Structure 1
Amino acid sequence: MEAHERRTLPEGWEWKKLGEIVAIGSGGTPSRGKKEYWEAGTIPWVKISDISDKYISETSEKITNEGLENSSAKIFPKGTILISIFATLGDVGILKIDAACNQALAGIQMTNNNLNPDFLYYYLKMLKSYFESIGRGVAQNNINLTILKSTKIPLPPLPTQRRIVSILEKAEETKKLRAQADELTDRLLQSVFREMFGVLGINAKGWDKKALGECLEIPLNSGLSPICTDETRGFPVLSLANLRDNGLSNVITKYYQGDKPSKGIDLEIGDILISRSNTRELVGRAGMYKGVPEKVIYPDLLIRIRVNRSILNPVFFEKYLQTNSIKKILHTLAHGSSGSMVKISQENLMNLSIITPPIFLQQKFARIVEKIEATRQSQNQSKQQIDDLFSALMQKAFRGEL
């Protein structure tokens, strides 16, 4: 019995296996090699990246009826809870539309009138760390439907479920307000960049242009291909997962257990890491290394860019690579025979044409970024406090202590 199942429940509550009170099924992916399964598709098809909020109302991809009929994909009705069971574990959302999903997601449909779907949503959300712990160590991190069906949930009377949902929904509003403030900070930074340097795709301000290869201090270099584990020993690794839309997370979660590597540990503050191999929507992600206490390894899926600082300021160049117009260009440089994984070659990256505004202007922008990032740091501390309070509130709610 897992820790979250050991506690004694309040009177009138009972433990139920999930498979006893809901219907659970997984999704599927039509062949990427069949254009007729995807082109002009009208059926929403959910991926993990489409789960960004409580409700899922749109998807980045759609499939055709032919694709649906010739794959293991199935349509889940509006109101179905989707939970990620592969790679990224325990992300949860509720469908606001009828939709299919890929095999990395499981669909949970209500079959018991004594279970409030919002109550189940919040409880599954609370179990994210539990799912991550039991899925860790399995190839690619995954949990199967058997594990999901055997997971126990506390089932209080319906009025209690509704009261818990009402409390958690109000608490979640605070999280949304914090997220909106964070989004405004991001927009401010984008606005400052456009004001100073214009729209990059058209180079409206007529800045000088150079090939990236002309702007480097040392040659481009991809990292190692280490076998990593989650054990907190060995050489820390900045993995592909460290690259986010808005930069590079320096939180280390992967470690290399082999002999001391001969290269790949010489990152310097200001180096840019860019993903050279990934799905088309994620390839080309870029972020600046800001340092960690120990030297780190980076994998061969990332390329290190160390710019000549008399030509490019690293802070400016990081934000440059993160603009939508440059992301689109990087996506066009990515090629591959696989429908899901594509690559940017070092040669194509070396030939990437970039604008080079006067260095004093880039440095001015970097100083502005420093001030905005200080604000963001304060916001992150506030966000962490709100997240911690929300987690504690959920724990109390599902112990019957509210």
Structure 2
Amino acid sequence: MKMSDYVEIDIGEFPKDWDVRKLKDVIIKAKSGGTPRRNVPEYWNGNIPFAKIQDITKSGKYLYNTEEFITEKGLENSNAWIVPKDSLLLTIYGSLGFVAINKIPVATNQAIIGIIPNKNIIDTEFLYYWYLYFKPYWSKFIKKGTQPNLTLEIVLNSSVPILPLEEQKKIVELLQKATDIYYTLKDYIIQIRNSTETITKVIRKELLTKGIGHRDYVETDIGEFPKDWEVRRLNEIAIIRSGFSERKRDENSKVIHLRPDNIDNETDRIVFHRIVYIPESPKIERYLLRHLDIVLVNTNGSIDHIGKLGIIDMPLNQKITFSNHLTAIRIVSKDVEPYYIYYLLSWYHLNGSFKKVVKNQAGKWNLNLDTIRNLLIPLPPLEEQKKIVELLQKVDELIIRFNDFLQNLEDEANTLYKSILRLALTGKLTEDWRRQIILLRSVVIPYLVYQASKIKGRPVYMTELMKYLFLLQKEYNINLAYNFEPYKYGPFTPQLYKDLEELKDRIEVKEVKDNVDKSLITSKELPQVNQDIANAVNDLINRFGNKDLKELLSYVYKKYPEYTVKSELNLDEFLK
């Protein structure tokens, strides 16, 4: 028996001896959930965990808890159902293809399918990694022009590779190690980014409150500052104006309309992506931005975004306006460096000063114009402002380079992890193990057939061989890595037929018209096997070799009734 080749199918390249089936053929149940009516209080705040998409996207591999709970009445009066522990949850609306294994029984909403795998065929953890790998493929199954949602039918008909459970577990073990390393690295990157942000805050605080080379400090209304600094209100040194709302769009126009989305929350920089263009009109003239104007977010649904800002740091070759959710600050005092004010306001944003003075109106946070105009600004002499700006810009350059390095490192980690997923789930990482299993089967099957034929005085029936191999795995711990599942005559594996085809130079399979079976199998030789295998096979044949097929099936059916659920035989006759 030779090492299997690889075959190409629509979802990738897989070992030839792997089976590929539809999900619906390897599970016990799959069903989406439902949401109880929210206007009925007695349906909510019970003791049944209720999973939504955000629970799955935040959970990682395992789901241990949920944000919301429903009652028994809520369960009974909705399409929700209890998904048993250690099932697979898959999101089908909006955030497509996220998966998690629930470590507690849960109900779910309609955006999540609960999948109960048939563990005789497929391991839940393997299925988790498979659909993690499969996630980018879902887009191929969504009809063009429709909402980007999956359906239960699409999921049930998705392809799943079926391989020996032993190999599935080896792949899971490899991927768990890779996943642990991957997330450890990501955690380190997050910690380093947080440390970098902390260092940035410390440097800005030191320069913007202590200045350069000072010894004498005085207490002011906004804290302690160098003695020779003065404190002014922002409207004493700048023209401050809120923008305007414009719903009309004109892609042929060259007038840019900045919105809060155009200010990056991480870097306090203006970013020109998702740009909106608006029509030319006389009213825009008073809202045109200039070089070195500062733009600050005054209204947002997130309080964390209030006060984020950017500066127009390049000469303008086109018209740029700004929305009513932004405030423009134009420095007009000749003794004030615009970049100094930009860094100071950025520091106010970082240290949470703006959060203390915002108000919530109609579900949105607002920093009103008067509050901005009356902001107190500690001002060093102009030359010191310029030196502070120069130092902070150098720090920014270093931070940007370092963050670029971290981003490249994260991108490399993502690429490597995806490659490991692909290699593992297409059989490349278990080739050596598979080679050993194939070699083991190539000697065990001929040896077993030869010894059984010898004691019976005839060839072995296919059904007999199937049950002998099943018992070798179950009762003698000979690991042939067959996945046995319930079928017409009890435990069955289609892999045996493939193996017999590979062994045709040593095994003869003869099709017959027989009341007992359709195939008779003969071994052309007695191969050499190690003593443990010889002892196991010989003991098995001594126990069952002289039994007819009905007696053999009766033994298997009685001892392993879980494999009789699809049997076409009269169970009463075999189980009595």
TM above 0.5:
yes
How far residue 176 of structure 1 moved from its aligned partner, in angstroms, is 1.2
Q: Which residue is equivalent to 1:90? A: 97
Q: Which residue is equivalent to 1:107? A: 114
Of 10, 19, 39, the match for 1:14: 19
Between 47-56 and 30-39, the greater mean CA deviation after superposition:
30-39
Q: Which residue is equivalent to 1:150? A: 157
Of 16, 25, 29, the match for 2:31: 25
Tell me how far apart the structure 2 counterparts of residues 73 and 319 of structure 1 sit (CA, whole Å): 48
Tell me how far apart the structure 1 counterparts of residues 125 and 417 of structure 2 sit (CA, whole Å): 16
Tell me how far apart the structure 2 counterparts of residues 243 and 25 of structure 1 sit (CA, whole Å): 42
The reply on whether 1:64 has 2:70 as its aligned counterpart is: yes
Of 51, 58, 79, the match for 2:57: 51
Deviations 1:314-370 (A, max 9, x none): 56656765778967987x7263xxxxxx555xx666577797664758986675454
| Structure 1: runs of 5 or more not aligned | 229-234, 336-341
Q: Which residue is equivalent to 1:392? A: 419
Q: SS in structure 1 opposite 2:92?
A: strand
TM-score by length of 1: 0.67
Tell me how far apart the structure 2 counterparts of residues 93 and 267 of structure 1 sit (CA, whole Å): 50
Q: Which residue is equivalent to 2:360? A: 333
Change (3 A) 1:205 1:105: farther
Between 151-160 and 189-198, the greater mean CA deviation after superposition:
189-198
Of 257, 262, 265, the match for 2:279: 262
How far residue 244 of structure 1 moved from its aligned partner, in angstroms, is 8.8
Q: One-letter code of the match for 2:279? A: S
Q: SS in structure 2 opposite 1:86?
A: coil
Equivalent residues of 2:258, 2:322 under 8 A apart: yes
Which aligned pairs between 1:333-352 and structure 2 lie closer than 5 A?
333=360, 335=362, 343=364, 350=369
Tell me how far apart the structure 2 counterparts of residues 15 and 186 of structure 1 sit (CA, whole Å): 43
Q: One-letter code of the match for 2:26? A: I
How far residue 250 of structure 1 moved from its aligned partner, in angstroms, is 6.5
Q: Which residue is equivalent to 1:187? A: 194
Answer 1 or 2: higher relative contact order, Cα 8 Å, separation at least 6.
Answer: 1
Equivalent residues of 2:309, 2:346 under 8 A apart: yes
Q: Name the % identity.
A: 21
Deviations 1:135-193 (A, max 9, x none): 48555521111111111111111122112222222222332122112221332245346
Q: Which residue is equivalent to 2:130? A: 123
Q: One-letter code of the match for 1:54? A: K
How far residue 380 of structure 1 moved from its aligned partner, in angstroms, is 0.8
The reply on whether 1:174 has 2:181 as its aligned counterpart is: yes
Deviations 1:245-280 (A, max 9, x none): 85799696x799xxx6427998999976869677x8
Tell me how far apart the structure 1 counterparts of residues 322 and 342 of structure 2 sit (CA, whole Å): 21
Which aligned pairs between 1:260-339 and structure 2 lie closer than 5 A?
261-262=278-279, 303-308=325-330, 310=338, 333=360, 335=362
Q: Pick the structure with more helix per residue.
A: 2
Q: One-letter code of the match for 2:179? A: E
The reply on whether 1:219 has 2:236 as its aligned counterpart is: no
Change (3 A) 1:152 1:94: same
Change (3 A) 1:46 1:226: farther
Equivalent residues of 1:80, 1:109 under 8 A apart: yes
Q: Which residue is equivalent to 1:383? A: 410
Q: Which residue is equivalent to 1:162? A: 169
Tell me how far apart the structure 2 counterparts of residues 79 and 143 of structure 1 sit (CA, whole Å): 22
Tell me how far apart the structure 2 counterparts of residues 96 and 133 of structure 1 sit (CA, whole Å): 31
How far residue 378 of structure 1 moved from its aligned partner, in angstroms, is 0.3
Q: One-letter code of the match for 2:23? A: L
Tell me how far apart the structure 1 counterparts of residues 322 and 146 of structure 2 sit (CA, whole Å): 18
Equivalent residues of 1:84, 1:92 under 8 A apart: yes
**How many residues are matched?**
372
Q: Which residue is equivalent to 2:525? A: none
| Structure 2: runs of 5 or more not aligned | 1-7, 207-220, 226-230, 332-337, 380-384, 430-576
Tell me how far apart the structure 1 counterparts of residues 139 and 356 of structure 2 sit (CA, whole Å): 33
What's the C-alpha RMSD, in Å, of the aligned pairs?
Answer: 5.2
Tell me how far apart the structure 1 counterparts of residues 270 and 279 of structure 2 sit (CA, whole Å): 24
Tell me how far apart the structure 1 counterparts of residues 85 and 321 of structure 2 sit (CA, whole Å): 42
Tell me how far apart the structure 2 counterparts of residues 43 and 90 of structure 1 sit (CA, whole Å): 21
Change (3 A) 1:343 1:43: same
Q: SS in structure 2 opposite 1:108?
A: strand
Change (3 A) 1:255 1:290: closer
Change (3 A) 1:42 1:114: closer
Change (3 A) 1:92 1:397: same
Tell me how far apart the structure 2 counterparts of residues 251 and 155 of structure 1 sit (CA, whole Å): 48
Q: One-letter code of the match for 2:426? A: R
Tell me how far apart the structure 1 counterparts of residues 139 and 321 of structure 2 sit (CA, whole Å): 23
Change (3 A) 1:160 1:221: farther
Between 318-327 and 392-401, the greater mean CA deviation after superposition:
318-327
Tell me how far apart the structure 1 counterparts of residues 45 and 88 of structure 2 sit (CA, whole Å): 27
Tell me how far apart the structure 2 counterparts of residues 282 and 268 of structure 1 sit (CA, whole Å): 27
TM-score by length of 2: 0.50
Tell me how far apart the structure 1 counterparts of residues 321 and 176 of structure 2 sit (CA, whole Å): 40
